[in-house]
Amino acid sequence: MGQITSPPQGQPSRAISRVDPTPSPGLPVPAQASVPSFETADRVARATVARFTQGVSPYAERAAWFEWASHLARAPGRQLELWLQAVTAGTRLARFALDAAVKQQPDLPFPPQERDHRFNDPAWRTFPYVLWQQAFLAQEEWWRSATRAVRGMTPQSADRVAFVARQALDAVSPSNVPWLNPVIIERTFKERGANLARGALYALDDAFRALSMEPAPSNHGLVVGEDIAITPGEVVYRNELMELIQYKPATETVTSEPVLIVPAWIMKYYVLDLLPEHSLVRYLVAQGFTVFMVSWRNPTAADRDVTFDAYRTSGVMAALDAVNAIVPGRKVHACGYCIGGTLLAIAAATMARDNDDRLASITLLAAQTDFSEAGELMLFVDESQIAFLEDMMWDQGVLDTKQMAGAFKALRPNELIWSKLMHEYLLGEREGATDLTVWNADQTRLPYRMHSQYLRGLFLENRLTAGRYAVEGSVIALKDIHTPMFVIGTETDHIAPWRSVYKIHLFTDNELTFVLTNGGHNAGIVSEPGHRGRHYRIATRPPEDRYIDSDTWLSLATLAEGSWWPAWAKWLAARSTPERVAPPSMGAPDKGLKPLWPAPGIYVLQH
Protein backbone atom coordinates (compact mmCIF):
# COMPACT_ATOMS: atom_id res chain seq x y z
CA MET A 1 0.00 0.00 0.00
CA GLY A 2 2.98 2.33 0.07
CA GLN A 3 4.36 4.30 2.97
CA ILE A 4 2.48 4.19 6.25
CA THR A 5 3.52 7.03 8.51
CA SER A 6 3.68 6.76 12.28
CA PRO A 7 1.49 8.86 14.57
CA PRO A 8 3.01 12.04 16.02
CA GLN A 9 5.54 11.39 18.74
CA GLY A 10 3.99 11.09 22.14
CA GLN A 11 0.63 10.08 20.73
CA PRO A 12 -0.75 6.56 21.09
CA SER A 13 -0.80 4.37 18.03
CA ARG A 14 -4.29 4.04 16.55
CA ALA A 15 -4.32 0.85 14.53
CA ILE A 16 -7.42 -0.07 12.57
CA SER A 17 -9.64 -2.39 14.57
CA ARG A 18 -10.48 -5.33 12.35
CA VAL A 19 -12.19 -7.48 14.96
CA ASP A 20 -15.49 -6.54 16.55
CA PRO A 21 -15.70 -8.30 19.94
CA THR A 22 -19.50 -8.09 19.89
CA PRO A 23 -21.19 -10.41 17.37
CA SER A 24 -23.31 -8.43 14.95
CA PRO A 25 -27.04 -9.15 15.18
CA GLY A 26 -28.20 -11.28 12.29
CA LEU A 27 -24.97 -13.28 12.02
CA PRO A 28 -25.31 -17.07 12.25
CA VAL A 29 -25.10 -18.59 15.71
CA PRO A 30 -23.13 -21.86 15.85
CA ALA A 31 -25.43 -24.81 16.26
CA GLN A 32 -25.33 -26.40 19.70
CA ALA A 33 -26.90 -29.73 18.70
CA SER A 34 -25.32 -32.52 16.72
CA VAL A 35 -27.42 -31.69 13.65
CA PRO A 36 -25.21 -29.78 11.17
CA SER A 37 -26.11 -26.20 10.33
CA PHE A 38 -26.73 -25.17 6.74
CA GLU A 39 -26.85 -21.43 7.49
CA THR A 40 -23.97 -20.80 5.10
CA ALA A 41 -25.98 -22.33 2.27
CA ASP A 42 -28.89 -20.06 3.16
CA ARG A 43 -26.65 -17.00 3.11
CA VAL A 44 -25.17 -17.98 -0.25
CA ALA A 45 -28.69 -18.37 -1.66
CA ARG A 46 -29.78 -14.96 -0.36
CA ALA A 47 -26.56 -13.35 -1.55
CA THR A 48 -27.13 -14.79 -5.03
CA VAL A 49 -30.66 -13.35 -5.19
CA ALA A 50 -29.36 -10.02 -3.88
CA ARG A 51 -26.98 -9.68 -6.82
CA PHE A 52 -30.00 -9.66 -9.14
CA THR A 53 -32.11 -7.33 -7.00
CA GLN A 54 -29.25 -4.90 -6.23
CA GLY A 55 -29.63 -5.65 -2.53
CA VAL A 56 -33.38 -5.02 -2.28
CA SER A 57 -35.16 -7.69 -0.24
CA PRO A 58 -38.12 -9.18 -2.17
CA TYR A 59 -39.72 -10.24 1.10
CA ALA A 60 -39.64 -6.73 2.56
CA GLU A 61 -41.46 -5.35 -0.47
CA ARG A 62 -44.02 -8.16 -0.70
CA ALA A 63 -44.71 -8.00 3.03
CA ALA A 64 -45.50 -4.29 2.80
CA TRP A 65 -47.94 -4.86 -0.09
CA PHE A 66 -49.62 -7.74 1.72
CA GLU A 67 -50.03 -5.64 4.86
CA TRP A 68 -51.52 -2.77 2.85
CA ALA A 69 -53.89 -4.99 0.84
CA SER A 70 -55.08 -7.00 3.84
CA HIS A 71 -55.82 -3.87 5.90
CA LEU A 72 -57.50 -2.13 2.95
CA ALA A 73 -59.67 -5.23 2.38
CA ARG A 74 -61.00 -4.80 5.94
CA ALA A 75 -61.65 -1.07 5.55
CA PRO A 76 -64.93 -0.56 3.65
CA GLY A 77 -64.93 3.12 4.55
CA ARG A 78 -61.56 3.68 2.91
CA GLN A 79 -62.70 1.67 -0.13
CA LEU A 80 -65.77 3.87 -0.49
CA GLU A 81 -63.62 6.96 -0.11
CA LEU A 82 -61.27 5.79 -2.87
CA TRP A 83 -64.21 4.92 -5.14
CA LEU A 84 -65.65 8.42 -4.68
CA GLN A 85 -62.25 9.97 -5.35
CA ALA A 86 -61.99 7.98 -8.58
CA VAL A 87 -65.47 9.15 -9.69
CA THR A 88 -64.65 12.75 -8.78
CA ALA A 89 -61.32 12.63 -10.59
CA GLY A 90 -62.94 11.12 -13.70
CA THR A 91 -65.61 13.82 -13.68
CA ARG A 92 -63.06 16.61 -13.35
CA LEU A 93 -60.99 15.09 -16.13
CA ALA A 94 -64.01 14.81 -18.45
CA ARG A 95 -65.00 18.41 -17.77
CA PHE A 96 -61.44 19.52 -18.47
CA ALA A 97 -61.47 17.64 -21.80
CA LEU A 98 -64.66 19.46 -22.84
CA ASP A 99 -63.23 22.82 -21.79
CA ALA A 100 -60.01 22.10 -23.69
CA ALA A 101 -62.03 21.53 -26.85
CA VAL A 102 -63.44 25.08 -26.75
CA LYS A 103 -60.77 26.98 -24.78
CA GLN A 104 -57.09 27.37 -25.46
CA GLN A 105 -55.80 27.29 -21.87
CA PRO A 106 -58.33 25.99 -19.30
CA ASP A 107 -57.15 25.70 -15.70
CA LEU A 108 -55.48 22.38 -14.94
CA PRO A 109 -57.53 20.27 -12.51
CA PHE A 110 -54.41 18.28 -11.59
CA PRO A 111 -51.38 20.58 -11.60
CA PRO A 112 -47.92 18.96 -11.26
CA GLN A 113 -46.34 19.00 -7.83
CA GLU A 114 -43.84 21.74 -7.07
CA ARG A 115 -40.72 19.66 -7.79
CA ASP A 116 -42.15 17.79 -10.80
CA HIS A 117 -40.49 19.20 -13.93
CA ARG A 118 -41.49 16.49 -16.41
CA PHE A 119 -44.21 18.61 -18.00
CA ASN A 120 -42.55 22.03 -17.96
CA ASP A 121 -42.28 22.31 -21.74
CA PRO A 122 -45.12 24.49 -23.18
CA ALA A 123 -45.93 21.69 -25.65
CA TRP A 124 -47.50 19.77 -22.77
CA ARG A 125 -50.25 22.42 -22.59
CA THR A 126 -51.40 21.70 -26.15
CA PHE A 127 -54.14 19.29 -27.18
CA PRO A 128 -54.12 16.23 -26.96
CA TYR A 129 -50.92 16.01 -24.88
CA VAL A 130 -52.42 17.99 -22.03
CA LEU A 131 -55.15 15.33 -21.69
CA TRP A 132 -52.60 12.53 -21.36
CA GLN A 133 -50.65 14.61 -18.84
CA GLN A 134 -53.76 15.30 -16.78
CA ALA A 135 -54.95 11.68 -16.90
CA PHE A 136 -51.57 10.57 -15.58
CA LEU A 137 -51.46 13.20 -12.82
CA ALA A 138 -54.99 12.22 -11.80
CA GLN A 139 -53.78 8.64 -11.37
CA GLU A 140 -50.83 9.85 -9.30
CA GLU A 141 -53.15 11.81 -7.03
CA TRP A 142 -55.44 8.81 -6.58
CA TRP A 143 -52.57 6.47 -5.76
CA ARG A 144 -51.13 8.95 -3.26
CA SER A 145 -54.46 8.72 -1.44
CA ALA A 146 -54.77 4.96 -1.91
CA THR A 147 -51.37 4.25 -0.38
CA ARG A 148 -51.92 6.31 2.75
CA ALA A 149 -51.64 4.18 5.87
CA VAL A 150 -54.79 2.26 6.76
CA ARG A 151 -55.52 2.12 10.47
CA GLY A 152 -53.47 -0.72 11.96
CA MET A 153 -50.68 -0.58 9.37
CA THR A 154 -47.11 0.16 10.35
CA PRO A 155 -46.08 3.56 8.98
CA GLN A 156 -42.97 2.09 7.35
CA SER A 157 -45.04 -0.40 5.33
CA ALA A 158 -47.35 2.39 4.19
CA ASP A 159 -44.39 4.53 3.15
CA ARG A 160 -42.80 1.60 1.33
CA VAL A 161 -46.01 0.84 -0.59
CA ALA A 162 -46.36 4.51 -1.55
CA PHE A 163 -42.74 4.60 -2.67
CA VAL A 164 -43.04 1.48 -4.86
CA ALA A 165 -46.34 2.70 -6.34
CA ARG A 166 -44.70 6.01 -7.18
CA GLN A 167 -41.79 4.19 -8.81
CA ALA A 168 -44.18 2.13 -10.95
CA LEU A 169 -46.16 5.20 -12.02
CA ASP A 170 -42.97 7.09 -12.87
CA ALA A 171 -42.02 4.28 -15.25
CA VAL A 172 -45.25 4.66 -17.27
CA SER A 173 -45.43 8.46 -17.24
CA PRO A 174 -46.36 9.85 -20.68
CA SER A 175 -43.13 11.83 -20.52
CA ASN A 176 -41.34 8.47 -20.83
CA VAL A 177 -43.43 7.17 -23.75
CA PRO A 178 -42.03 8.42 -27.09
CA TRP A 179 -45.38 8.56 -28.93
CA LEU A 180 -47.05 10.43 -26.05
CA ASN A 181 -44.28 12.97 -25.44
CA PRO A 182 -44.68 16.08 -27.64
CA VAL A 183 -41.06 17.13 -27.09
CA ILE A 184 -39.76 13.86 -28.52
CA ILE A 185 -42.31 13.89 -31.36
CA GLU A 186 -41.41 17.45 -32.33
CA ARG A 187 -37.68 16.72 -32.21
CA THR A 188 -38.09 13.56 -34.28
CA PHE A 189 -39.98 15.40 -37.04
CA LYS A 190 -37.54 18.30 -36.94
CA GLU A 191 -34.45 16.06 -37.26
CA ARG A 192 -36.17 13.45 -39.46
CA GLY A 193 -35.32 10.73 -36.94
CA ALA A 194 -31.63 11.59 -36.57
CA ASN A 195 -32.14 12.01 -32.83
CA LEU A 196 -33.43 8.43 -32.58
CA ALA A 197 -30.47 7.14 -34.57
CA ARG A 198 -28.02 8.94 -32.25
CA GLY A 199 -29.92 7.68 -29.23
CA ALA A 200 -29.83 4.11 -30.52
CA LEU A 201 -26.05 4.35 -30.90
CA TYR A 202 -25.75 5.71 -27.36
CA ALA A 203 -27.95 2.89 -26.05
CA LEU A 204 -25.95 0.28 -27.95
CA ASP A 205 -22.66 1.70 -26.64
CA ASP A 206 -23.96 1.64 -23.06
CA ALA A 207 -25.27 -1.92 -23.51
CA PHE A 208 -21.90 -3.15 -24.78
CA ARG A 209 -20.13 -1.46 -21.87
CA ALA A 210 -22.55 -3.01 -19.39
CA LEU A 211 -22.18 -6.52 -20.86
CA SER A 212 -18.39 -6.27 -20.99
CA MET A 213 -18.35 -4.66 -17.51
CA GLU A 214 -16.41 -1.67 -18.77
CA PRO A 215 -16.93 1.57 -16.88
CA ALA A 216 -18.58 4.36 -18.82
CA PRO A 217 -16.39 7.43 -19.41
CA SER A 218 -17.35 9.79 -16.64
CA ASN A 219 -14.89 12.65 -16.47
CA HIS A 220 -15.70 14.25 -19.86
CA GLY A 221 -12.36 16.03 -19.83
CA LEU A 222 -12.47 17.04 -16.15
CA VAL A 223 -9.60 15.24 -14.44
CA VAL A 224 -9.13 14.96 -10.68
CA GLY A 225 -5.84 16.60 -9.76
CA GLU A 226 -5.73 18.62 -13.00
CA ASP A 227 -9.09 20.38 -13.25
CA ILE A 228 -10.87 19.33 -10.04
CA ALA A 229 -9.36 19.07 -6.55
CA ILE A 230 -6.49 21.39 -7.43
CA THR A 231 -6.29 23.60 -4.34
CA PRO A 232 -2.54 23.48 -3.55
CA GLY A 233 -1.63 21.25 -0.65
CA GLU A 234 0.35 18.26 0.57
CA VAL A 235 -0.50 14.87 2.04
CA VAL A 236 1.18 15.09 5.44
CA TYR A 237 -0.08 11.88 7.05
CA ARG A 238 -1.25 8.50 5.82
CA ASN A 239 -2.49 5.28 7.37
CA GLU A 240 -4.40 2.26 6.10
CA LEU A 241 -7.72 4.12 6.11
CA MET A 242 -7.08 7.73 5.16
CA GLU A 243 -4.69 10.40 3.95
CA LEU A 244 -4.58 13.81 5.62
CA ILE A 245 -4.15 16.77 3.26
CA GLN A 246 -2.82 20.10 4.53
CA TYR A 247 -3.58 22.99 2.18
CA LYS A 248 -1.06 25.70 1.50
CA PRO A 249 -1.84 29.17 2.88
CA ALA A 250 -3.15 31.85 0.52
CA THR A 251 -2.69 34.77 2.93
CA GLU A 252 0.31 36.18 4.77
CA THR A 253 -1.34 35.59 8.15
CA VAL A 254 -3.93 33.02 9.16
CA THR A 255 -6.52 32.43 11.84
CA SER A 256 -4.83 30.78 14.79
CA GLU A 257 -7.15 27.76 14.97
CA PRO A 258 -7.00 25.36 11.99
CA VAL A 259 -10.01 23.71 10.32
CA LEU A 260 -10.20 19.91 10.03
CA ILE A 261 -12.79 18.58 7.55
CA VAL A 262 -14.10 15.00 7.80
CA PRO A 263 -16.05 14.11 4.63
CA ALA A 264 -18.21 11.04 4.18
CA TRP A 265 -16.56 7.84 2.98
CA ILE A 266 -19.68 7.18 0.93
CA MET A 267 -18.24 9.82 -1.41
CA LYS A 268 -14.87 11.19 -2.51
CA TYR A 269 -13.75 14.20 -0.49
CA TYR A 270 -13.38 16.54 -3.45
CA VAL A 271 -17.08 17.43 -3.51
CA LEU A 272 -15.71 20.15 -1.21
CA ASP A 273 -12.86 20.98 -3.63
CA LEU A 274 -14.41 20.97 -7.11
CA LEU A 275 -13.47 23.50 -9.79
CA PRO A 276 -11.74 26.47 -8.13
CA GLU A 277 -14.81 28.70 -8.41
CA HIS A 278 -16.92 26.06 -6.61
CA SER A 279 -14.37 24.91 -4.02
CA LEU A 280 -15.26 25.33 -0.34
CA VAL A 281 -11.65 24.46 0.55
CA ARG A 282 -10.25 27.21 -1.68
CA TYR A 283 -12.75 29.67 -0.22
CA LEU A 284 -11.70 28.88 3.36
CA VAL A 285 -8.01 29.14 2.52
CA ALA A 286 -8.65 32.51 0.86
CA GLN A 287 -10.33 33.70 4.08
CA GLY A 288 -7.12 32.98 5.97
CA PHE A 289 -7.89 29.58 7.50
CA THR A 290 -5.41 26.72 7.72
CA VAL A 291 -7.40 23.79 6.30
CA PHE A 292 -6.84 20.05 6.70
CA MET A 293 -8.89 17.47 4.80
CA VAL A 294 -9.36 13.74 5.39
CA SER A 295 -9.26 11.71 2.15
CA TRP A 296 -10.59 8.19 2.71
CA ARG A 297 -9.21 5.11 1.00
CA ASN A 298 -11.67 3.27 -1.26
CA PRO A 299 -12.00 -0.13 0.47
CA THR A 300 -11.85 -3.49 -1.26
CA ALA A 301 -13.09 -6.95 -0.30
CA ALA A 302 -9.91 -7.37 1.77
CA ASP A 303 -11.27 -4.66 4.12
CA ARG A 304 -14.49 -6.54 4.85
CA ASP A 305 -13.92 -6.53 8.63
CA VAL A 306 -13.03 -2.86 9.08
CA THR A 307 -15.38 -1.60 11.81
CA PHE A 308 -17.38 1.61 12.05
CA ASP A 309 -15.32 2.68 15.05
CA ALA A 310 -12.13 2.31 12.99
CA TYR A 311 -13.24 5.36 11.04
CA ARG A 312 -13.26 7.26 14.34
CA THR A 313 -9.94 5.99 15.70
CA SER A 314 -7.93 5.76 12.49
CA GLY A 315 -9.83 8.60 10.85
CA VAL A 316 -11.03 11.46 13.03
CA MET A 317 -8.76 10.92 16.02
CA ALA A 318 -5.64 10.09 14.01
CA ALA A 319 -6.21 13.20 11.87
CA LEU A 320 -6.76 15.33 14.97
CA ASP A 321 -3.51 14.02 16.49
CA ALA A 322 -1.64 14.95 13.32
CA VAL A 323 -3.18 18.43 13.18
CA ASN A 324 -2.22 19.00 16.82
CA ALA A 325 1.36 18.00 16.02
CA ILE A 326 1.55 20.43 13.06
CA VAL A 327 -0.28 23.26 14.85
CA PRO A 328 0.57 22.63 18.51
CA GLY A 329 -1.13 24.36 21.39
CA ARG A 330 -4.23 25.39 19.43
CA LYS A 331 -7.74 24.05 19.39
CA VAL A 332 -9.27 22.84 16.13
CA HIS A 333 -12.45 23.77 14.25
CA ALA A 334 -13.83 20.37 13.21
CA CYS A 335 -16.26 19.99 10.31
CA GLY A 336 -18.06 16.82 9.18
CA TYR A 337 -20.16 16.19 6.08
CA CYS A 338 -23.00 13.62 5.83
CA ILE A 339 -21.92 10.39 7.56
CA GLY A 340 -18.62 12.13 8.28
CA GLY A 341 -20.62 14.58 10.37
CA THR A 342 -22.38 11.75 12.20
CA LEU A 343 -18.98 10.23 12.94
CA LEU A 344 -17.65 13.61 14.09
CA ALA A 345 -20.58 14.01 16.50
CA ILE A 346 -19.81 10.55 17.92
CA ALA A 347 -16.12 11.42 18.23
CA ALA A 348 -16.93 14.77 19.89
CA ALA A 349 -19.27 13.12 22.41
CA THR A 350 -16.57 10.55 23.18
CA MET A 351 -14.00 13.32 23.64
CA ALA A 352 -16.39 15.19 25.95
CA ARG A 353 -16.88 12.03 28.01
CA ASP A 354 -13.11 11.63 28.28
CA ASN A 355 -12.45 15.34 29.09
CA ASP A 356 -10.65 15.90 25.78
CA ASP A 357 -11.16 19.61 24.98
CA ARG A 358 -9.18 19.98 21.75
CA LEU A 359 -12.13 21.18 19.64
CA ALA A 360 -12.84 24.90 19.27
CA SER A 361 -16.09 24.31 17.35
CA ILE A 362 -18.05 21.62 15.54
CA THR A 363 -19.71 22.08 12.14
CA LEU A 364 -22.07 19.46 10.74
CA LEU A 365 -23.00 19.63 7.05
CA ALA A 366 -26.23 17.76 6.20
CA ALA A 367 -25.43 15.24 8.94
CA GLN A 368 -27.95 13.33 11.03
CA THR A 369 -27.54 12.31 14.65
CA ASP A 370 -31.10 11.06 15.14
CA PHE A 371 -32.37 8.55 12.57
CA SER A 372 -36.00 8.18 13.57
CA GLU A 373 -37.06 10.40 10.64
CA ALA A 374 -34.21 9.75 8.25
CA GLY A 375 -36.21 10.21 5.04
CA GLU A 376 -36.75 7.77 2.20
CA LEU A 377 -33.53 5.92 2.95
CA MET A 378 -35.41 4.43 5.90
CA LEU A 379 -37.58 2.59 3.37
CA PHE A 380 -34.58 0.32 2.80
CA VAL A 381 -33.99 -0.35 6.50
CA ASP A 382 -35.72 -3.09 8.45
CA GLU A 383 -34.57 -6.44 9.82
CA SER A 384 -35.37 -8.32 6.61
CA GLN A 385 -33.72 -5.74 4.39
CA ILE A 386 -30.58 -5.41 6.49
CA ALA A 387 -30.17 -9.20 6.73
CA PHE A 388 -30.49 -9.36 2.94
CA LEU A 389 -27.86 -6.62 2.49
CA GLU A 390 -25.59 -8.26 5.05
CA ASP A 391 -25.65 -11.54 3.17
CA MET A 392 -24.82 -9.78 -0.07
CA MET A 393 -21.94 -7.87 1.55
CA TRP A 394 -20.81 -11.03 3.37
CA ASP A 395 -20.43 -12.62 -0.06
CA GLN A 396 -18.78 -9.60 -1.73
CA GLY A 397 -16.86 -8.17 1.22
CA VAL A 398 -18.18 -4.68 0.41
CA LEU A 399 -21.27 -2.83 -0.72
CA ASP A 400 -20.34 -2.25 -4.34
CA THR A 401 -20.37 1.13 -6.05
CA LYS A 402 -23.20 0.22 -8.45
CA GLN A 403 -25.38 -1.03 -5.61
CA MET A 404 -24.83 2.16 -3.64
CA ALA A 405 -25.49 4.36 -6.69
CA GLY A 406 -28.61 2.36 -7.54
CA ALA A 407 -30.11 2.98 -4.09
CA PHE A 408 -29.61 6.75 -4.39
CA LYS A 409 -30.96 6.86 -7.95
CA ALA A 410 -34.07 5.01 -6.81
CA LEU A 411 -34.85 7.92 -4.48
CA ARG A 412 -35.06 10.35 -7.41
CA PRO A 413 -35.88 8.28 -10.51
CA ASN A 414 -37.40 11.11 -12.54
CA GLU A 415 -34.22 13.18 -12.41
CA LEU A 416 -31.57 10.48 -12.22
CA ILE A 417 -33.02 7.67 -14.35
CA TRP A 418 -35.96 8.51 -16.65
CA SER A 419 -34.94 12.03 -17.57
CA LYS A 420 -31.45 10.81 -18.47
CA LEU A 421 -32.82 7.95 -20.60
CA MET A 422 -35.20 10.26 -22.47
CA HIS A 423 -32.51 12.85 -23.19
CA GLU A 424 -29.85 10.40 -24.26
CA TYR A 425 -31.75 7.62 -26.05
CA LEU A 426 -34.73 9.49 -27.53
CA LEU A 427 -33.64 13.11 -27.89
CA GLY A 428 -30.12 11.97 -28.77
CA GLU A 429 -28.43 14.36 -26.33
CA ARG A 430 -25.56 13.11 -24.20
CA GLU A 431 -25.70 15.08 -20.99
CA GLY A 432 -22.83 17.49 -20.57
CA ALA A 433 -20.61 17.05 -17.55
CA THR A 434 -20.19 19.42 -14.65
CA ASP A 435 -17.69 19.12 -11.85
CA LEU A 436 -20.52 17.96 -9.56
CA THR A 437 -21.73 15.25 -11.96
CA VAL A 438 -18.15 14.05 -12.50
CA TRP A 439 -17.75 13.75 -8.74
CA ASN A 440 -21.11 12.02 -8.43
CA ALA A 441 -20.00 9.34 -10.91
CA ASP A 442 -16.75 8.73 -8.98
CA GLN A 443 -18.24 6.18 -6.61
CA THR A 444 -16.87 4.39 -3.57
CA ARG A 445 -17.41 1.07 -1.79
CA LEU A 446 -18.31 0.39 1.84
CA PRO A 447 -16.80 -2.39 4.02
CA TYR A 448 -19.16 -5.18 5.02
CA ARG A 449 -18.78 -4.96 8.82
CA MET A 450 -18.74 -1.16 8.94
CA HIS A 451 -21.89 -0.80 6.87
CA SER A 452 -23.70 -3.50 8.82
CA GLN A 453 -22.86 -1.79 12.13
CA TYR A 454 -23.88 1.61 10.74
CA LEU A 455 -27.24 0.38 9.46
CA ARG A 456 -28.07 -1.58 12.61
CA GLY A 457 -26.68 0.73 15.28
CA LEU A 458 -27.85 4.04 13.83
CA PHE A 459 -30.55 3.57 11.19
CA LEU A 460 -32.37 0.54 12.61
CA GLU A 461 -31.85 0.96 16.37
CA ASN A 462 -31.10 4.71 16.58
CA ARG A 463 -28.73 4.08 19.46
CA LEU A 464 -26.96 7.45 19.47
CA THR A 465 -29.95 9.52 20.59
CA ALA A 466 -31.54 6.64 22.52
CA GLY A 467 -28.68 6.61 25.02
CA ARG A 468 -27.42 3.17 23.92
CA TYR A 469 -24.43 3.98 21.71
CA ALA A 470 -21.25 2.70 23.35
CA VAL A 471 -17.69 3.63 22.42
CA GLU A 472 -14.88 1.55 23.90
CA GLY A 473 -17.32 -0.08 26.30
CA SER A 474 -19.02 3.05 27.68
CA VAL A 475 -22.16 4.82 26.49
CA ILE A 476 -21.73 8.35 25.11
CA ALA A 477 -24.19 11.28 25.16
CA LEU A 478 -24.43 14.26 22.81
CA LYS A 479 -25.50 16.39 25.81
CA ASP A 480 -21.93 16.15 27.10
CA ILE A 481 -20.78 18.32 24.19
CA HIS A 482 -20.38 21.96 25.27
CA THR A 483 -18.42 23.07 22.20
CA PRO A 484 -20.34 25.54 19.96
CA MET A 485 -21.99 23.95 16.91
CA PHE A 486 -22.83 25.22 13.42
CA VAL A 487 -25.29 22.83 11.75
CA ILE A 488 -26.43 22.96 8.10
CA GLY A 489 -29.62 21.46 6.72
CA THR A 490 -30.74 21.68 3.08
CA GLU A 491 -34.35 22.26 2.02
CA THR A 492 -34.75 19.45 -0.54
CA ASP A 493 -32.38 16.89 0.96
CA HIS A 494 -33.61 13.35 0.22
CA ILE A 495 -30.75 11.69 2.14
CA ALA A 496 -30.65 13.76 5.35
CA PRO A 497 -34.00 15.64 5.53
CA TRP A 498 -33.48 18.98 7.20
CA ARG A 499 -36.06 18.35 9.93
CA SER A 500 -34.15 15.20 10.82
CA VAL A 501 -30.88 17.17 10.93
CA TYR A 502 -32.61 19.84 13.03
CA LYS A 503 -33.41 17.27 15.76
CA ILE A 504 -29.89 17.72 17.13
CA HIS A 505 -31.50 20.59 19.07
CA LEU A 506 -33.30 17.96 21.16
CA PHE A 507 -30.14 16.17 22.24
CA THR A 508 -27.68 19.01 22.96
CA ASP A 509 -27.56 21.96 25.37
CA ASN A 510 -24.65 23.88 23.84
CA GLU A 511 -24.64 27.04 21.74
CA LEU A 512 -26.06 25.91 18.40
CA THR A 513 -26.37 27.92 15.20
CA PHE A 514 -28.66 26.23 12.69
CA VAL A 515 -28.73 27.16 9.01
CA LEU A 516 -31.28 25.99 6.45
CA THR A 517 -30.13 26.58 2.88
CA ASN A 518 -31.95 25.94 -0.36
CA GLY A 519 -30.77 23.09 -2.55
CA GLY A 520 -30.25 19.40 -1.95
CA HIS A 521 -27.80 17.19 -0.11
CA ASN A 522 -24.88 18.14 -2.37
CA ALA A 523 -25.91 21.26 -4.28
CA GLY A 524 -27.02 22.97 -1.07
CA ILE A 525 -23.55 22.49 0.43
CA VAL A 526 -21.68 23.47 -2.77
CA SER A 527 -23.13 26.96 -2.57
CA GLU A 528 -20.36 29.40 -3.39
CA PRO A 529 -20.83 33.19 -3.13
CA GLY A 530 -22.30 34.52 -6.35
CA HIS A 531 -24.31 31.34 -7.04
CA ARG A 532 -27.61 32.51 -8.51
CA GLY A 533 -30.81 31.90 -6.58
CA ARG A 534 -29.18 30.99 -3.27
CA HIS A 535 -30.69 31.91 0.09
CA TYR A 536 -30.59 30.58 3.63
CA ARG A 537 -32.20 30.98 7.03
CA ILE A 538 -30.14 31.25 10.19
CA ALA A 539 -30.76 31.41 13.95
CA THR A 540 -28.67 30.73 17.05
CA ARG A 541 -29.84 28.93 20.19
CA PRO A 542 -28.00 30.10 23.32
CA PRO A 543 -26.68 27.38 25.66
CA GLU A 544 -29.40 25.59 27.64
CA ASP A 545 -32.18 27.60 25.97
CA ARG A 546 -35.60 26.02 25.56
CA TYR A 547 -36.33 23.78 22.60
CA ILE A 548 -38.49 25.04 19.74
CA ASP A 549 -39.82 22.76 17.02
CA SER A 550 -38.63 22.97 13.43
CA ASP A 551 -41.74 24.73 12.09
CA THR A 552 -41.52 27.42 14.77
CA TRP A 553 -37.81 27.81 14.04
CA LEU A 554 -38.61 28.22 10.34
CA SER A 555 -41.03 31.07 11.08
CA LEU A 556 -38.54 32.86 13.36
CA ALA A 557 -35.19 32.37 11.58
CA THR A 558 -33.64 35.26 9.67
CA LEU A 559 -33.84 34.94 5.88
CA ALA A 560 -30.70 36.02 4.01
CA GLU A 561 -29.95 36.06 0.29
CA GLY A 562 -26.82 34.47 -1.13
CA SER A 563 -24.41 31.79 0.03
CA TRP A 564 -24.12 30.58 3.62
CA TRP A 565 -20.32 30.26 3.25
CA PRO A 566 -19.52 33.86 4.38
CA ALA A 567 -21.80 33.45 7.41
CA TRP A 568 -19.91 30.29 8.38
CA ALA A 569 -16.49 31.94 7.88
CA LYS A 570 -17.61 34.85 10.06
CA TRP A 571 -18.91 32.39 12.70
CA LEU A 572 -15.60 30.50 12.73
CA ALA A 573 -13.61 33.73 13.03
CA ALA A 574 -15.77 34.86 15.96
CA ARG A 575 -14.89 31.64 17.81
CA SER A 576 -11.19 31.88 17.12
CA THR A 577 -8.37 33.76 18.76
CA PRO A 578 -8.58 37.41 17.57
CA GLU A 579 -4.88 37.67 16.73
CA ARG A 580 -3.83 36.26 13.37
CA VAL A 581 -0.55 34.36 13.17
CA ALA A 582 1.99 33.26 10.61
CA PRO A 583 0.96 30.13 8.66
CA PRO A 584 2.23 26.86 10.13
CA SER A 585 4.82 24.80 8.28
CA MET A 586 3.65 22.13 5.86
CA GLY A 587 3.66 19.05 8.05
CA ALA A 588 5.89 18.54 11.06
CA PRO A 589 9.03 16.74 9.82
CA ASP A 590 10.55 16.73 13.31
CA LYS A 591 7.54 14.70 14.47
CA GLY A 592 7.50 12.26 11.59
CA LEU A 593 4.89 14.18 9.58
CA LYS A 594 6.76 15.28 6.50
CA PRO A 595 4.93 16.04 3.23
CA LEU A 596 4.53 12.79 1.33
CA TRP A 597 3.13 13.92 -2.05
CA PRO A 598 1.07 16.78 -3.45
CA ALA A 599 -2.70 17.04 -3.08
CA PRO A 600 -5.06 15.47 -3.97
CA GLY A 601 -3.00 12.45 -2.90
CA ILE A 602 -3.26 8.82 -3.96
CA TYR A 603 -6.33 7.45 -2.17
CA VAL A 604 -8.75 9.76 -3.99
CA LEU A 605 -7.59 8.35 -7.34
CA GLN A 606 -8.44 4.76 -6.41
CA HIS A 607 -11.34 3.10 -8.24
Taking phi over 0 as left and psi of -120 to 50 as alpha, with beta for the rest, 447 belongs to beta
**Rounded alpha-carbon distances, angstroms, from residue 415 to 79, 155, 460:** 33, 26, 28
- Asked if omega into 600 is within 30° of 0 (cis), the reply is yes
**Rounded alpha-carbon distances, angstroms, from residue 307 to 20, 38, 193, 476:** 7, 27, 54, 18
Residue (of 605, 27, 606, 603) closest to 315 by Cα position: 603
* Active-site residue identified among 162, 260, 271, 338: 338
The residues that bridge with 541 in the sheet, in sequence order, are: 512
* DSSP element (H, E) containing 100: helix 76-102
E strand map for 192-262: 233-238, 242-247, 259-262
**Rounded alpha-carbon distances, angstroms, from residue 126 to 105, 121, 185, 188, 199:** 8, 10, 13, 18, 26
CA atoms of 542 and 492, how far apart (whole Å):
27
CA atoms of 56 and 389, how far apart (whole Å):
7
Can you tell me whether residue 5 is helix, strand or coil?
coil
Residue (of 470, 477, 537) closest to 502 by Cα position: 537
Can you tell me whether residue 242 is helix, strand or coil?
strand
The verdict on whether 338 is a catalytic residue reads yes
Rounding to the nearest 10 degrees, give the CA dihedral for residues 246, 248, 251, 257.
10
- The total of other beta-carbon atoms located within 10 Å of residue 118's CB is 21
Catalytic center residues: 338
